[in-house]
Amino acid sequence: MIQRKTRWALAPWSATDEENAKKLASHLGLPPLVAKLLVKRGFDEIGTAERFLRGGVEHFHDPYLLRGMKEAVERIRQAAAHNEKIRIYGDYDADGVSSTSLLVHLFRALNYEFDYYIPHRALEGYGLNKKAIKLAADEGVRLIVTVDTGISAVDEIAYAGELGIDVVVTDHHEPPEQIPNACAVVNPKQENCDYPFKGLAGVGVAFKLAHALLERPPLEWADIASLGTIADLMPLKDENRILVRYGLERLRSQPSVGFRALAEAGGIELEAITSTGVAFGMAPRINAAGRLDHAKRAVELLTTEDYDNAILAAISLDSLNKERQRVVESIVKEAEQLWQMKTAEAEASGIASPPVIVLAGEGWNVGVIGIVASKLLERNYKPVIILGIDEKTGMCKGSARSIEGFDLHAALTACDELLDHYGGHQAAAGMSLHRDRLQELEQRLGTLASEWLSADDWIPKTAVDLMCSVNEATLETIAELSQLEPFGMGNPSPRLLFQGAELADRRTIGKDSKHLKLSLGSGRPLLDGIGFSMGILAEGLRPGSKVDVIGELSINEWNGQRKPQLQLHDMHFDPTAEMFPEREDFGKVYQQLKQLGQAQLSGLNERIAKQSGLSLVIVELMLDVFEELAFIERSNGMMSAASSPQKRDLAASERYRSAKEQYEASRMSVAGH
């Protein structure tokens, strides 16, 4: 028995969905699997599906649909006309760095007088601050244009006004109740903004500002826009999808010196880079600057036109990233030890370990605690808060990550008298509090988690797109799946369920038999499955039996050969589960009965079961079905086979249909949403 590790969530599939998928397949010339996936993701009409697949620059929205854009453009142009000094004010994460860099390119192209400022993560913290505004005033700045920040800076923007500085806010964060009194506020999420797409990153909003000022979409900076959009985990839909497609294309075919240098220093291949490569190769290196040093190093990389400067900046980002990895690793290790001590203590006193993981350490770098929290969540599947303690003051700065069902922001709000500051949303949040209050925070959050979460919520969920058969997983179909790329937030790589797939063979590969390799299917060609770190499961699998697997399809190229491959996520195998008989099994048993012609009912089922190798339950079911279809008759203790029965399909039998349905339902245990 191999038990599934996660809850499999397969959304329902209706007859209407099926119809829509057929329509898409024929109108757009798509394989059924691709058409079904489109429907599953909400693109069930030809127009929307076509736009999703093939949408280009003509589908960018008018930037002036953004509330405040007109005022922003006017104020910036006025500053340029009067040679007022403009300062771009950004943020230290990858989106903030991208946004800042994009405006640097823009203002440079427009020949404005400008510079940029990004606060120091540890010394200044997020957002506009009065000290930085005072500095700007002292340096003769008359206009600040914020990117990826500013929507909450009511006091700071009022202060800027007192010092004679106007502020144009461009941001994408959730607007608070009170919007700052700036000369323009551009944010697709603000009230009364009719912009049709709310999912722009900070750099997406900056891109729209550039579009407005240049009076055309500045595709030459789509690479920078993709970086921030992907790094900030924005949904890759609508305009973001178009931006990222152009951006990836640019990175592949004509990378700027900055990206080229970053790729060289980081060993990232640009020729076929995907959103995953940007997310895991580029974004961490860009982020490393702000975490361990200063984000302006990353802006320098993305805005220089000189290769020598770029490669120096890229190498320093790469080594900062390596250092970041070491710092994360060592904090994760310490945190895991603390957690093990906590669970051991709980066990020793006969109580359950805390439902919410709250761990703090002196000297833990607050620039990386969010990453540490994510790693602990991954390993333990519980909400996690990791905090760095300031030894002198005893104050802690923390970063939290949550599991589905536990709303962090709501939970922190419920404990707000313990906290000095907090902010964030359902899945991630930050806070500060004194170390003396940590224990109470852990207890109160734990109580909330026990109240809010059901037993199921503590098991991670795998969202499954569709059921698929081995026969459907052809090279051609998999190649067409790439039309749905780029994959990422809001458009994940399709997860498919192969239910009851025949296991032709299994073996382990790699050092210490670490990985599992499966061959699925009964005919030819077989479908290869690869399960990383699943080698241990090989022993429990028997060739010839049936397994349920969830995975992602891709094309594996090896030795000049291209083969379909399924990368396994999870598996379920129950060797004792009763298999539902195939049509051939029904056929075989019917032939046996026909040969017998007539037989005593007593002992008949046992006889057939023995001859056919099928279980008694199945034989009983078959005889019920045959009787219902008038292939046999059972009366007066005798079975007699009809001599020339009418040809009828098995599915015409009510007994057959209900048994099959029941069997499928029991096998599934695949929860709907």
Residue ranges that bind Mn ion, judged by CB under 5 A? 95, 148, 202, 232
User: Using an 8 Å Cβ cutoff, are 398 and 386 in contact?
Assistant: yes
d(CA 89, CA 150): 9
Give every CB contact of residue 2 below 8 A, 6+ residues apart in sequence. 537, 540, 541, 547, 571, 572, 573, 574
User: Using an 8 Å Cβ cutoff, are 454 and 486 in contact?
Assistant: no
User: Using an 8 Å Cβ cutoff, are 398 and 404 in contact?
Assistant: no
CB of 239 to Mn ion, least distance (A): 15
Looking at beta carbons only, is 127 or 202 nearer to Mn ion?
Answer: 202
d(CA 478, CA 474): 6
CB of 95 to Mn ion, least distance (A): 3
User: Using an 8 Å Cβ cutoff, are 475 and 563 in contact?
Assistant: yes
Looking at beta carbons only, is 209 or 411 nearer to Mn ion?
Answer: 209
d(CA 323, CA 371): 14
CB of 241 to Mn ion, least distance (A): 18
CB of 153 to Mn ion, least distance (A): 15
Q: Looking at beta carbons, which residue is closest to Mn ion?
A: 95
Looking at beta carbons only, is 149 or 402 nearer to Mn ion?
Answer: 149
Looking at beta carbons only, is 199 or 521 nearer to Mn ion?
Answer: 199
CB of 378 to Mn ion, least distance (A): 23
Looking at beta carbons only, is 291 or 495 nearer to Mn ion?
Answer: 291
| Residue (of 71, 57, 99, 67) closest to 195 by Cα position | 67
Give every CB contact of residue 51 below 8 A, 6+ residues apart in sequence. 59
d(CA 198, CA 43): 18
CB of 362 to Mn ion, least distance (A): 30
Looking at beta carbons only, is 90 or 531 nearer to Mn ion?
Answer: 90
Looking at beta carbons only, is 79 or 94 nearer to Mn ion?
Answer: 94
CB of 201 to Mn ion, least distance (A): 5
Looking at beta carbons only, is 96 or 383 nearer to Mn ion?
Answer: 96
User: Using an 8 Å Cβ cutoff, are 100 and 88 in contact?
Assistant: yes
Looking at beta carbons only, is 102 or 263 nearer to Mn ion?
Answer: 102
CB of 94 to Mn ion, least distance (A): 8
d(CA 171, CA 156): 15
User: Using an 8 Å Cβ cutoff, are 571 and 4 in contact?
Assistant: yes
Angle between helices 283-292 and 222-231 (to 10 degrees): 70
Looking at beta carbons only, is 230 or 268 nearer to Mn ion?
Answer: 230
Structure tokens at 562: 């291209």
CB of 234 to Mn ion, least distance (A): 8
Looking at beta carbons only, is 232 or 239 nearer to Mn ion?
Answer: 232
d(CA 476, CA 15): 26
Looking at beta carbons only, is 88 or 466 nearer to Mn ion?
Answer: 88
Exposed, middle or buried: residue 294 (CB in 10 Å: 0-12, 13-18, 19+)? middle
User: Using an 8 Å Cβ cutoff, are 238 and 197 in contact?
Assistant: yes
Looking at beta carbons only, is 202 or 529 nearer to Mn ion?
Answer: 202
CB of 334 to Mn ion, least distance (A): 30
Q: How many CA atoms lie within 13 A of 375 on its CB side?
A: 17
Looking at beta carbons only, is 98 or 493 nearer to Mn ion?
Answer: 98
How would you label 489-517 residue by residue, b for 16+ Cβ within 10 Å and e otherwise?
bebebbbbbbbbbbbbebebeeeeeebbb
CB of 508 to Mn ion, least distance (A): 43
| Residue (of 410, 55, 21, 421) closest to 240 by Cα position | 55
CB of 327 to Mn ion, least distance (A): 23
**Residue in the block written with tokens 């024929």:** 26
Looking at beta carbons only, is 148 or 528 nearer to Mn ion?
Answer: 148
| Residue (of 118, 185, 129, 120) closest to 155 by Cα position | 129
CB of 133 to Mn ion, least distance (A): 21
Give every CB contact of residue 240 below 8 A, 6+ residues apart in sequence. 197, 199, 200, 201, 204, 229, 234, 490
> Angle at Cα 35 formed by Cα 29 and Cα 38, nearest 5°?
130
CB of 171 to Mn ion, least distance (A): 8
Structure tokens at 505: 């063979």
Looking at beta carbons only, is 38 or 288 nearer to Mn ion?
Answer: 288
d(CA 426, CA 406): 7
How would you label 564-583 residue by residue, b for 16+ Cβ within 10 Å and e otherwise?
bbbbbbbbbbeeebeeebee
Angle between helices 94-109 and 222-231 (to 10 degrees): 160
CB of 496 to Mn ion, least distance (A): 32
CB of 59 to Mn ion, least distance (A): 23
